[in-house]
Amino acid sequence: MTLTVEGRMEFHDHLPTLPDLQDAVGGYVEAVSFPLAGSEATMWLNEEGKLVDEPRRNWKADVVCPPSGGDWAGDVVFTGGVGPDGETLALNEAQLAELQRIDRDVRVLLLDERSSGFLVIG
């Protein structure tokens, strides 16, 4: 499952390969393990995502996997945890349901102080 900085969730029916992950996040990948719906999940992001000229915060990723310091930048990919032989696992049904709930229910409202406008993400 891919989550873009625009708040779009794209569900896939296969486990991503390393090249798939690198393509989705736009560079070298970093894995962050976190609890999701009662079991371990992994969020894959660009390890240099905050070093680009204009990093874009991924607000919904902050909701799914609250950062311990700072925020997440760039598109991310979610998979299940890690299997007994170190293999990447698929998201389970409960994790998929939680991500779908977040996709359906979470909207982020960004206020733009310069133009007195706002932008809704997701």
Write down the pLDDT at residue 92: 96
Write down the pLDDT at residue 106: 78
Residues 6+ apart with CB under 8 A from 24: 2, 16, 44, 75, 77
Write down the pLDDT at residue 116: 55
How many C-beta neighbours within 10 Å does residue 35 have? 11
pLDDT tens across the length of the chain (122 residues):
999 988 889 988 889 999 999 999 999 999 999 999 999 999 999 999 888 867 788 888 988 999 887 889 999 999 999 999 999 999 999 999 999 998 888 776 655 555 555 555 55
Q: What is the pLDDT of residues 6-39, one digit of tens each?
A: 888 998 888 999 999 999 999 999 999 999 999 9
Q: How many residues does the chain have?
A: 122
Identify the H or E element spanning 95: helix 93-105
* pTM: predicted TM-score of the whole model, two decimal places: 0.84
The residue assigned the tokens 């997701």 is 122
Write down the pLDDT at residue 107: 72
Distance from C-alpha of 111 to C-alpha of 121, rounded to nearest angstrom: 11
Distance from C-alpha of 9 to C-alpha of 1, rounded to nearest angstrom: 7
